[in-house]
Amino acid sequence: MRDSFPALATTVTGTGPGLLLAHGATGSIEGNFAPVVPALAAAHTVVAPDYPGSGGTPVAATPLGLDELTDAVVDSAVRHGIERFAVLGFSLGTLVAVRAAVRHPERVTALVLTAGFARPDDHLLGLLPGWRAEEPPALRPHVDLIPSLDITGDLPEVAVPTLVVATTSDSMVLPAGSRALAAGIRGAQYTEIDSDHVVMVERPEEWLKPVLGFLQSLPLSEVPSEVREGEGR
């Protein structure tokens, strides 16, 4: 990782198998996942990093790249003693999650992909100029990353249990994006929720039901004893 890419500000909560969160573009752990973290942490060690420019993470000195962002997200778990983990990605975070499973197969045990896509469609690309103009400078690199993204070739390489959650009333990422993820990943489970984009905020209980059910069906992972609830840096 280049020196210009900062270590991600990360909190760790809960106990149990590792669960690494990957938030959306211009979002944050607080903004995307706050309503559901307590339920996730009830049975998992939840690792929650913020991307450069979000939360307490400084802006990167160079433009974002998917591989570099993915490696930083994975490193946020490893730095806290979590060697193996499921990755729960939302929106841009679904691409981070898939790339993590391909680049770090020795670490990733499962994927949960919510409101995601393999590459941006014309609808999403059309939203980017207005979206970028509304964001503070620190978050504009998130938007600038999107046009270059394409993980279509990664999907057949995913070899871990996967749950895809589509948001069928999504005004930003159309549900066709989630359907393409499910179709491209062998054995992926698929479910739909009638929600706009940030389903974890809009319909947290409805989202938690399939997600927790899926996570509870996975084999237990060893949790290092040195990781304690509330640890973060």
d(CA 110, CA 119): 21
Query: Span 50-64, mean pLDDT?
Result: 96
d(CA 184, CA 158): 9
Name which of 57-66, 207-216, 220-229 the model is least confident about: 220-229
Please name which of 144, 155, 6 lies closest in space to residue 63, comparing C-alpha atoms: 144
Res. 175: pLDDT tops 70: yes
91-137 pLDDT, tens digit per residue, is: 999 999 999 999 999 999 999 999 999 999 999 999 999 999 999 99
